[in-house]
């Protein structure tokens, strides 16, 4: 099934289309901007509030990687001010309220933003990363040590690409895992742990849903 997203200048329609396109719930986006869970649904369905407040609009625009004007920001001369330009130099990537297990596997929690990591827009461009396709989650478990440790935060690129080797976040059944993929054998995807105490898990392509590739990590020393 193909979904066609039409270009619109109405901030309410634009927000609804963006949420649908990126698989984000209105309740989750409401919590992202620090509002009650029905706030954006009322904004879209009932027209209350009449317009998004500046801070709410900015957070949503950064989340989707778009210009604030698409969500109703006034386009005036102040948009070119040094302060506005400085804000555009940084991108807030949502930190999701779930963890990817580097151990035996955990059930994924609801994918709601609980904060953000701020990255330089120029750095993201240099890495070829689309901010709208990025999210940060926590590593849980020790099977990927010493590459990834329990408690590390990882940046996941969800841009659709052909299957390739590397460290990925995958879903197997209802469990969310972070593993190194080995696709060297036809008809087999091996989920490999960097910790030699864990054995590889051989699965068929139909048993593995690739969520995204791990492109960055942070952690405590």
61-109, pLDDT tens digit by residue? 888 888 888 888 876 544 444 445 445 688 888 887 666 655 544 434 4
> Does the pLDDT value for residue 36 go beyond 80?
yes
Q: Residue 78: its pLDDT value, please?
A: 42
Q: Residue 9: its pLDDT value, please?
A: 55
CATH of the domain at 14: 1.10.260.40
Q: Which two tokens stand for residue 66?
A: 């778009």
Q: Rounded distance, CA 192 to CA 211, Å?
A: 16
Q: Residue 98: its pLDDT value, please?
A: 63
> Does the pLDDT value for residue 198 go beyond 60?
yes
Residues 30 and 57 in one domain: yes
Q: For residue 193, how many other CB atoms are within 10 A of its CB? A: 22
What is residue 47's DSSP assignment? Answer: -
Query: In the chain, pLDDT over 70 holds for what percent of residues?
Result: 81
Residue 7 lies in a domain: yes
Residues 200 and 161 in one domain: yes
Residue 188 lies in a domain: yes
- Which among 72, 101, 123 is the end of a domain? 72
Range(s) of the domain holding residue 55 = 1-72
Handedness of CA 20, 21, 24, 26 (dihedral sign): negative
> What pTM was estimated for this model as a whole?
0.61
46-63, pLDDT tens digit by residue? 888 888 998 888 888 888
Q: Which two tokens stand for residue 12?
A: 């309410």
Q: Rounded distance, CA 156 to CA 80, Å?
A: 32
Q: How many domains does the chain have?
A: 2
Higher pLDDT pick, 182 / 113: 182
- Which among 42, 72, 102 is the end of a domain? 72
Q: Which two tokens stand for residue 81?
A: 């001010």
Provide CB contacts within 8 A for 151, sequence distance 6+: 138, 139, 140, 219, 220
């Amino acid at each position: 099934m193909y979904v066609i997203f039409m270009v619109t200048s109405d901030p309410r329609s634009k927000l609804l289309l963006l949420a649908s396109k990126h698989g984000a719930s209105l309740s989750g986006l409401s919590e992202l901007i620090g509002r009650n869970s029905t706030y954006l649904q009322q904004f879209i369905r009932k027209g209350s509030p009449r317009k998004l407040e500046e801070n709410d609009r900015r957070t949503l625009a950064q989340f989707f990687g778009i210009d604030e004007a698409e969500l109703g920001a006034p386009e005036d001369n102040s948009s070119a001010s040094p302060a506005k330009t400085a804000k555009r130099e940084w991108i807030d990537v949502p930190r999701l309220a779930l963890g990817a297990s580097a151990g035996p596997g955990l059930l994924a929690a609801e994918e709601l933003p609980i904060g953000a990591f701020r990255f330089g827009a120029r750095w993201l461009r240099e890495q070829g990363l689309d901010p709208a396709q990025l999210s940060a989650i926590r590593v849980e478990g020790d099977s990927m040590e010493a590459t990834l440790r329990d408690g590390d935060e990882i940046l996941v690129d969800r841009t659709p690409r052909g299957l390739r080797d590397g460290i990925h976040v995958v879903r197997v059944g209802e469990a969310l895992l972070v593993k190194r993929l080995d696709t060297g054998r036809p008809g087999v995807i091996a989920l490999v742990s960097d910790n030699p105490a864990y054995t590889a898990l051989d699965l068929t392509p139909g048993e593995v849903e690739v969520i995204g590739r791990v492109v960055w990590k942070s952690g405590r020393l």
